[in-house]
Amino acid sequence: MLQQTIKIKANTIRWHQFSRRSDAVFLSLGREINIGVLSVATLLAATPDSATARVSMAPVHADEATELLDDGVADGVVVDDEIVDGMPIDETVIDSSFTEKHIQLSCTEVTASRIPISSDKATRIIQIITAEDLKASSAQSVSDLLKLVAGVDVRQRGGFGIQTDIGVNGGNEDQVTVMLNGINISNPHTGHLTMDLPVSMNDIERIEVLEGGASRVYGSSAFAGVINIVTKSEAVNRVSIATSGGSYGTFCTDGSVNLLSGAFTNRFSGGWSQSDGASANSDFKKANVYWHEQYSGDWIDLRMQAGLSTTKYGANTFYGTGSQSQYEENDRYMLSLQGESKGSLHLLPQLYWNRMYDHYIWRKENPAAYENYHRTDVYGGQLNAWTAWHLGKTAVGVEFRRENILSTRLGKPIDPNNINPYPGYKYEDGRSNLGLYIEHDVLLDNWSFSAGLLANHNTSVSGGLRFYPGIDVSYRPMENLRLYASFNQSLRTPTYTELYYNGPGLEANSALKPEKSTDYTVGCSFTTSVISATLKGFYRHETDMMDWVKLQGATVWTTANSDIDNMGVEALVVYDTSKSTAEKHYFINKVSVGYCYNHQHRIDEQQAANYANQLVYLRHKFVATLQHRIISHLSAKWEFVYKDRAGWFDNALTGNRQNYGSFGQLDLKLQWETKHYRFYAQANNLTGKHYYDIANVCQPGRWFTVGTKLNIDL
């Protein structure tokens, strides 16, 4: 949490004390808070040394100041010659006295290392989907939001984020670490289920995307990137209710209650969504409940969260074309506790538990013919500590993570001679992962160096401790320009599906080796008051990469290792008038253009010739958004995404080989918004293009939705 102290003195506002929660793990670029005509540019991952921001405060009108007070944003704001709370005051009094108020804001301190680094010392490029982006977007799920990041590959099977695969810079769904407020919620069973979240869209404050290997910071699963979903913590007592409905019998509703009590902030939320689906057997029903509590004390900050979600859906041809009546149910339960001590030595403990149930049926009309039950339990904890001294900042940490699975199909057979404590399950497996971290950062006037090492041991991998180093460097040759370079090595252990799954046309390989990679990235960023731009090039040398392949002459698909080179470039330019009080009333509010090119090839040509399938990856992705005012409170946002995917599949409908090819998708959202309510109408895929992200799973055409959200301050 960010604790803000507002002091009125000589028309000056001063910020103090940025905290460092364990979930604050990325750089929040370009954040700005506008209070009436007061503009406060927040720091990125601000340190105690750089956390004080001073700005001149111009007088605000009484109606504007009253709105600030109603929002809980400011107290004692000067209104011409008087204080808003009704106490007359002259400027000589302001010069000699303070009006002080402690305000809790959502955390804007983020970093790509184990130690917080201020924005002007950042060592890696981070992409942020902000709260304003979420509110304006026509996205219907977190997965839809991630489509707006050029370097992220989103492959959906169903609507509203139902079973979505997320990849970063050429990686797949099993190579990305997904976190909820800094807690790793990735699923060791399969990455297909990782994005089944216990939170609603209206719970989310921002989404942070770190592209590239980051094992030395976030552990062995951070192979190709990290996605951190940060939930809201509003500084106001409020009830919110949202409802929407649209095409194909779609209906969604959710609500939340945010309560403040002394040093405690609580948020309770829940949601329900359902749809008949845009194609045969693609209906779904989903529910989620979430609780989030924060405590800020004199010597420690605590953060607790708990959530559950349940999803039932028709699985169409998700896992093969031999059945079009597939069905699946997923349930998730999670609980976590985080803390951070205050003082010269910062201690950040973390405990968590995740449980996932998966029930899959090949033919819904005859479940007994073929069905699977899986239960995964993941629990663990970590302790990170860091301190600043005359040679820089040093951090050390230790993490333990246990991943267990019970299944009717995945794992090693349960001994029939022993009493089975888990009736119904025939197989089990488990592995423990131990990570030891060390990092040291040196921050000079224009140079920043961050170097670290992960020593990792996984009980499923022979060879004892394995070491994965990394170093990130940045240089600022001028005020608005920063150059970046990084080198990182990472690993990933196979999922239980890759190791053990045998099914119709599929054969697993329990001898798979862990994946290893070496990442190189160079880039730059340029920022002004209204324009921000980033450009980077990346190269990842991948060893023992796992994939489902069909060897020449084979009749089944199997998992195998191969070596792959992955390389590309990515660029993003954003023009945002909301960052400038002089330009914020322009017709155009925000324009962004992003592009990513990716290329992959198997290194060993002889090895590549043995595969009957080609590599499937997103070769080109272009994203453009335009947000503008129309009249009064009415605004519009246009979102266009173009994809060109390499690879092909055998189309079950035509019997012919079909390239994934390219397509463009245009979305539009019209929104009328005031302080306490908003109404919107949106159209997804206006072009009506039917396309394939996954082999033989056709995505729907146009999808229309209308909705409303109401905020009631208590």
Report the CATH number that the domain containing residue 229 is assigned in CATH: 2.40.170.20
Co-location of 585 and 562 in the same domain: yes
In degrees, to the nearest 5, what angle opens at C-alpha 239 toward C-alphas 234 and 242?
A: 105
Compute the distance between CA of residue 231 and CA of residue 205 in angstroms, rounded to an integer.
5
pLDDT at 587: 86
pLDDT in tens, 349-369: 999 999 999 999 999 999 988
Q: How far apart are CA 187 and CA 401, in angstroms?
A: 12
Residue 113 within any structural domain of the chain: no
Residue 161 shares a structural domain with residue 242: yes
User: Among 456, 401, 408, 448, which residue's Cα sits nearest to residue 428?
Assistant: 408
> Same domain for 444 and 592?
yes
Domain that holds residue 354: 119-333+345-713
State how far the alpha carbon of 153 is from the alpha carbons of 72, 148, 309, in Å.
39, 10, 24
Comparing C-alpha atoms, which of 221, 199, 223, 213 is closest to residue 145?
199
* Local confidence band at 706 (pLDDT 50, 70, 90 cut-offs): very high
Per-residue confidence (pLDDT) for residue 612, from 0 to 100 = 56
pLDDT of residue 108: 39
Does 111 fall in a domain? no
End residue of a domain, out of 39, 70, 105: 105
- The reply to whether 339 falls in a domain is no
Residue 277 lies in a domain: yes
Distance CA 112, CA 25 (A): 6
- Per-residue model confidence as pLDDT tens digits over 251-301: 999 999 999 999 999 999 999 999 998 888 999 999 999 999 999 999 999
Burial 467-499 (b: 16+ CB within 10 A, else e): ebebebbbebeeeeebebbbebbbbbbbbbbbb
Q: How far is CA 155 from CA 58, 96, 570, 594, in A?
A: 49, 60, 19, 18
| pLDDT tens-digit map of 231-264 | 998 889 999 999 999 999 999 999 999 999 999 9
Q: Which residue bears the tokens 């929660």?
A: 21
Indicate whether 206 and 60 sit together in one domain.
no
For residue 297, how many other CB atoms are within 10 A of its CB?
A: 11
Both structure tokens of 655: 């019997």
Q: Is 463 exposed, middle or buried (0-12, 13-18, 19+ CB in 10 A)?
A: exposed
**Among residues 647, 548, 691, 618, which one has the least CA distance to residue 191?**
548
| pLDDT of 147 | 93
The structural domain count of the chain equals 2
Q: Report d(CA 181, CA 542) in Å as an integer.
A: 29
> Domain end: 105, 131, 155, which one?
105
Find, among 372, 490, 492, 499, the residue nearest to 430 by Cα.
Answer: 499
160 Ramachandran zone, left/alpha/beta (phi>0; psi -120 to 50): left
Q: Does residue 113 carry a pLDDT above 90? A: no
Q: Which of 654, 561, 647, 551 is nearest to 603 (CA)?
A: 561
State the Cα–Cα distance between residues 250 and 285, nearest whole angstrom. Answer: 10
163, 290: one domain: yes
Contact (CB, 8 A) for 401 and 432: yes
- With respect to residue 699, please indicate whether it lies within any of the assigned structural domains: yes
* Same domain for 553 and 478: yes
**Same-domain status, 399 and 302:** yes
Question: In the structure, what pLDDT confidence band is assigned to residue 552 with cuts at 50, 70 and 90?
Answer: confident
Dihedral angle of Cα 99, 239, 295, 2, to the nearest 10 degrees:
-50
pLDDT above 50: residue 440? yes
Closest CA to 153 of 600, 518, 463, 557: 600
Of 70, 105, 140, the domain-final residue: 105
Q: Do both 633 and 497 map to the same domain?
A: yes
Number of neighbours of residue 517 by Cβ within 10 angstroms: 25
* Amino acid of residue 583: E
632 and 599 in one domain? yes
Same domain (yes/no): 96, 150: no
Total-model pTM: 0.84
In a domain, 14, yes or no: yes
Residues 6 and 138 in one domain: no
Please report where in the chains the tokens 């509003």 appear, as a residue.
Answer: 234
Q: Do 567 and 615 share a domain, yes or no? A: yes
